[in-house]
Chain A
Amino acid sequence: MSKEIPAHNLSIYVANRPGALARIAQTFSRRGFNIESLVVSAGATGDFSRMTITAKGDEAGLEQIIMQCSKLVDVLACREHTDEEVVARELALVKVAVDSAHRGEVLQIADHFRAKTVDLSEKSIVLEATGSSEKLDAMVDLLSKYKIIELVRTGKVIMARGERET
């Protein structure tokens, strides 16, 4: 890709009703936006959900998506947040194929990124890491020297800093 398409952080607070996710996903797909990551979880009260979406696309399209999402009957709020405005975290589980000969090196990398060992077998190790997406990218990058068997990432969750609403 010659031109880098900017990624945007969107946070959507939505009534927990059937179809809400599909409606939101449609507003993205219809306008040709690719959703990079999507996290849906319960809000502070059970009737509401929090969606954090990272998507790539142009500014004009993004403005439309925010307005179209805001207009959905189930959506209470839809906001874009710059990286500076928020704390952003992601969790990754990485299963690396490693025998006893190389386990020490892998654990050293894990230690550097403050990743925890959550499963260990003769031939593999599962690491759990939390942090910014960039930090996780860097860790995965280093681990890819070994054989990564599986990688599962939650996608980014964000929360606005200070008094700001997410």
Chain B
Amino acid sequence: MSENQMNGAEALIQSLEKIGIEIAFGIPGGSAIPIYDALYKVRRKMKFVLVRHEQNAAHEADGYARATGKPAAVLVTSGPGAANTVTGIMTAYMDSVPMIVVTGQSVRGMLGKDAFQEADIFNLTMPIVKHSYLLKNANEIPRVIKEAYHIATTGRPGPVLIDVPKDVGTEACTAELEAEMNLPGYKPNPKGYGPETIRQIADALAKSQRPVIIAGHGAVLSRAEKELRQFAETLQAPVATTLLGKGVFPDSHKLSLQGLGMHGTAYANRAVVECDLMISVGARLDDRILGVPSQFCKNAVKIHIDIDAAEFGKLVKPDIRCRGDAKTVLQDLLPLLKKGDTAEWIKRIEGFKKKWPMTYAKKGGLHPPQVIDALNKLTGGKAVMTTDVGQHQMWAWQFFRCDKPWQFISSGGAGTMGFGLPAAIGAQFGRPGETVVAIVGDGGFQMTMSDLATAVIHKLPVKIILMNNHYLGMVRQWQDMFYDERYSGVDLEGNPDFVELAKAYGVLGLNLKRAADIPKVLKKALEHPGPALVNVEVVHHEEVFPMVPPGKPLEDTVLCHPRRKPGRPAGRKNGPAQTGKKNA
């Protein structure tokens, strides 16, 4: 190879930069050394972040994408390095997040021979990627990178994996960086519907007296917030948002029902139960929002707008299916809309909101919603919030008030514990000037906390609010409610002193033990120029409500523990739990 000829790995890094990848997260290893050598030699603009675990690399790329809308790259080695990204790739795949994952691989001649650190990552990840490549020669690289980016970011976004044998990285690449894509089967269609579908939807909407809009991640990804708002206001229809749709319709809007589903608001669930028309804008209608799929909006007209045709009828059979990009569909629909006459319906919903307000306990110890609410006030609802998975996630979703999309970042489909911290790190890289808060639990945080180092090294001022109840709280809640209080494997005895742990990494560590100290301590953390961790000693036993018990329809939303008298559990005295009855 002559002096100025590039090798495969160099073509890879240059192609990533050329396509517009601004940041890469990863850890090197034997098979990835050529790629890392190329990072050293030819990288110009792309930022590289050395992380502490490959799962975190994927979550950080994920958090970056969910905060900015732009994909990041993950650069890891073969075998365990690649395998460690699996949870992160799955998380991104389930939530339609674009990502380019580049894995080192054994040399071509050793493939399938159980070489050192060889794993068949191409096949291992096949069900959790939008697409994947196993490179055979270096000349493919510019085309593959271009295709990978295109696939990851168009249609329904998702992760794309590229497996690079070490000797593909080192052999000469004579192909031009300007490559032609060759994807005859790939047909992302933002307008896979005709005018008659739009007319059908408009007609159905005109007939409806009790419409409900469900807005999901698709509405966020297509940047349809303006159109969605116009749509809801013209129609005078209430809007419920999914976990990943949070913020695409302002929580503070009069027509907002906030979240729906298993831990949605009682008024959102009731509105869905009573509606005569449900229109889903970019939500895939998953089991966590449906209750019992066959009973979901049983008597209502169901309209499903989704860019992915495979979502139609997966769980809910729609009356009208409209394959397309949420924004494009709404833009086509808006001119046909008649102003809705839904005053009665809205009045009824106002009644639901008064009857079953979202409140929380304030006495008898510290309660996570109190802390979230204080964060609302201190940040003006402008923070970017990431979460882990579990009770704190649901409280964050329920009580964080946000009026804009791209602000609430949470692992929905996969429900990946440990997501919060690395996602916050990724988000902070993407939005350097903004306040990024990770709400985590003591269980999930310990799964990925090694990346505190990453926050420190890069001086990322992420704020980690650790809701420490010394339990795997959500599982304990289920064991409490549905398994006769047989607490099995949920007591997190042996938790470290998180404040000391933070300090050991060079992170500001603060304890928060009394409700009276909430504003003071949070303020201190928020004002600290670097990363900070607040260990919040919350009440040990507390349940998330409202709740639709598993296997029950939305009609059966309960507001408190069905077996306990209101007020009995510590700290629920003044809480929302006035009745164990169904909400209707």
Contact = CB atoms under 8 A, between A and B. Distances in A.
Interface of A: 14-15, 18-19, 22-23, 26, 30, 47-48, 60, 63-64, 67-68, 70-76
A22 B151 CA distance: 19
Interface stretch (B129-137, B396-404, B457-465): B129-137
A22 B122 CA distance: 11
Nearest to B123: A22
The 4 closest A-B pairs by CB, nearest first: A67-B310, A73-B131, A76-B185, A73-B186
Contacts of B183: 15, 73
Contacts of B314: 64
A62 B126 CA distance: 20
Contacts, number: 44
A80 to B, nearest CB: 15
B309 A70 contact: yes
30 contacts: A14-B185, A18-B134, A18-B136, A19-B123, A19-B126, A19-B132, A19-B134, A23-B126, A26-B126, A26-B127, A30-B127, A47-B184, A60-B313, A63-B313, A64-B310, A64-B313, A67-B309, A67-B312, A68-B310, A71-B308, A71-B309, A72-B185, A73-B130, A73-B131, A73-B183, A73-B185, A73-B186, A75-B185, A76-B184, A76-B185
Contacts of B122: 19
Nearest to B155: A71
For the residues of A in contact with B, the DSSP-based class is mixed
Contacts of B123: 19, 22
Given A63-B313, A70-B309, A15 B127 contact: no
B139 to A, nearest CB: 16
Interface in B183-222: 183-186
Given A15-B185, A18-B134, A26-B126, A73 B310 contact: no
Contacts of A63: 313
Contacts of B185: 14-15, 72-76
Interface in B303-358: 308-310, 312-314
A30 B313 CA distance: 17
A73 B148 CA distance: 11
A19 B124 CA distance: 12
Nearest to A30: B127
Interface in B114-170: 122-123, 126-127, 130-132, 134, 136, 151
Interface of B: 122-123, 126-127, 130-132, 134, 136, 151, 183-186, 308-310, 312-314
B237 to A, nearest CB: 28
A76 B185 CA distance: 4
Nearest to A48: B184
A78 to B, nearest CB: 10
Given A14-B185, A67-B310, 4 more contacts: A63-B313, A64-B313, A71-B310, A73-B130
A31 to B, nearest CB: 11
A97 B299 CA distance: 64
A66 B583 CA distance: 40
Nearest to A20: B185
A48 B308 CA distance: 24
B414 to A, nearest CB: 16
Contacts of A74: 185
B429 to A, nearest CB: 29
Contacts of B308: 71
B406 to A, nearest CB: 26
A22 B184 contact: no
A130 to B, nearest CB: 31
Contacts of A23: 126
A138 to B, nearest CB: 38
A19 B309 CA distance: 23
Contact of A22 (B126, B186, B309): B126
Nearest to A77: B185
Contacts of B186: 73
A10 B186 CA distance: 19
Contacts of B130: 73
A73 B313 CA distance: 21
Max count, chain A CB within 10 A of own CB: residue among B136, B186, B309, B310:
B310
A18 to B, nearest CB: 6
B126 A73 contact: no
A83 to B, nearest CB: 25
B101 to A, nearest CB: 15
Contacts of B126: 19, 22-23, 26
B123 to A, nearest CB: 6
A70 B130 CA distance: 13
A117 to B, nearest CB: 41
Contacts of A30: 127
Nearest to A27: B127
A137 to B, nearest CB: 34
Contacts of A70: 309-310
Contacts of A22: 123, 126
Contacts of A15: 183-185
Contacts of A14: 185
B151 A73 contact: yes
Interface centre among A18, A67, A71, A75, by most chain B C-beta atoms within 10 angstroms, is A71
Nearest to A14: B185
A60 B317 CA distance: 10
Nearest to A71: B310
A19 to B, nearest CB: 7
B164 to A, nearest CB: 14
A54 to B, nearest CB: 22
Contacts of A47: 184
